[in-house]
Structure 1
């Protein structure tokens, strides 16, 4: 219930500041969650991006105000974070299908997007396999990054690997991979974000391998410093269940570090794993 209370506290903060500046760092603080993970956690659980949720809630309240008061459109635009009446009108039309001025008429049809409330869903009918790994060294990963829209990540990332196979980049990475591995985090890696920061609409997906030699031309390196990882087989299934099922009851918090997708060679079991940075819950 502690996790549930934190998430709803974050929603309370959003609701109380819809007509003022919303600090994304403050949202994550209210949830006692790392900035890096909150937006992806929110999207995974709710099915909508954090920024889109805020936009819809603001335009819902704006529609209520238009019908209940004589407030000027420009004042309403500024109140809900738009730089001009035109940008507000475009967003209003996109959501409600009519212009703000037309919404003053009685009998017009508008759309109200209610506030989200997180609740515990009793599941547990399918076990969730995981193990805890402790690494006593920094991870140095070399490769290339690509911008990925969060809402399309499950479709975009496989296509990135498919393209890497066709253009030879995947083979180049395989040739650089470790012959004498230090741990099980070997083979092709997909780092879900280069920096620890809020990633809402998009993030950088870094494709690479662990490597301590000179960085080849056209590539770059990133270093990930963290020791404790929760590791889950089956990346797609793990992403779907991580935030809503494992995190709330695990006794761990998500660290402010990117998750890593690890893709193993053919015939390896499991074929792929999701490595999630964690710290014991205080």
Structure 2
């Protein structure tokens, strides 16, 4: 995967302002667009689409300062059909207009070309189980919340706090399938969604596929397939977020599995508010 990501970066540089067919590139490298975008986002710290935009605007800024081409020529060369659209993208990255950049020479924000490297030192052993599960039916109380990469998500906290104690007991009583117990389910989001993207969060349980779902509960159905189950224990939420990062930086590059579309599921084995022992369930398929 590391080699594939570096080849993708090289293709982006060679493509210049032309549209890159990420799905075709992924197929040619024996993977899927979904997995490729998820791994790029996790390792680069930004969505693939954002990296492409930053690189285009970095090169465009250099051309404008050099002054050899007209504003329209620069816009077209970097994939924009109008000066107006190019100017909006340019300002979003650099904070100034193309005209200001040409007149004053900056300041410009540079996005260096990425280069991915893998260093696995084995300092943090990962406990992982691959399990095959039938169709999952996850039922509970769902809410739309913004994606937050670091720290506690206050929107999720507020959602859970608003669920009465007796409702938590009711959900536990409904749980009759793996993964057992009350679950934190994040609905399948775009593979390279930026922070702030709205996603579905469900506080609920797993029930049998033929179970009758109460009318007042939300339900998410997930196709049968394989799951990679990672276990971790430590301070909350840092341990869980570090585990997420480690799956991308250590486990997937070193194992013959890739992500498939599906929600992520967190099963808390023990939770005190500041410390958690949990399982992270990620939908996978053979690479």
Q: Quickly say closer, same or farther: Cα 1:51–1:12, change in 2 above 3 A.
A: same
Check whether the contact 1:174–1:187 (CA below 8 A) recurs between aligned residues.
no
Deviations 1:25-83 (A, max 9, x none): 34544554443343332222122232221111010111122234543323433443445
Q: Tell me the matched-pair count.
A: 272
The one of 171, 187, 200 equivalent to 2:193 is 200
* Contact 2:41-2:192 within 8 A present in 1 as well: no
Query: Per the alignment, do residues 227 and 46 of structure 1 end up closer, same or farther by CA in structure 2, a change over 3 Å counting?
Result: same
Q: Residue 159 in 1 paired to residue 154 in 2?
A: yes
1:139 is aligned, of 119, 136, 140, to 136
Structure 1 pair 35–190 and aligned structure 2 pair: CA distance change class (3 A): farther
TM-score (normalizing by structure 1): 0.80
Mapped pair 1:260 → 2:265: yes
Closer, same or farther: CA 203–233 of 1 in aligned 2, 3 Å: farther
Stretches of structure 1 that go unaligned for 5 or more consecutive residues are none
Q: Give the alignment's Cα RMSD to 1 decimal.
A: 3.1
Tell me what 1:15 maps to: 13
- Is the partner of 1:261 in helix, strand or coil? strand
> Which moved further from structure 2: 120-129 or 72-81?
72-81
Instruction: Determine the structure 2 residue equivalent to 1:209.
Output: 205
Gaps of 5+ in 2: 233-239
Equivalent residue number for residue 168 of structure 1: 163
Tell me whether 1:188 sits opposite 2:182 in the alignment: yes
2:40 is the counterpart of 1:42: yes
User: Does the alignment pair 1:274 with 2:272?
Assistant: no
Question: For the residues of structure 1 that align with 2:14 and 2:198, how far apart are their CA atoms?
Answer: 28
TM-score between both structures, scaled by the size of structure 2? 0.79
234-243 or 21-30, larger mean C-alpha shift? 21-30
Cα distance per residue 1:4-39 (max 9 Å; x no partner) = 221212223322334022334345445544433433
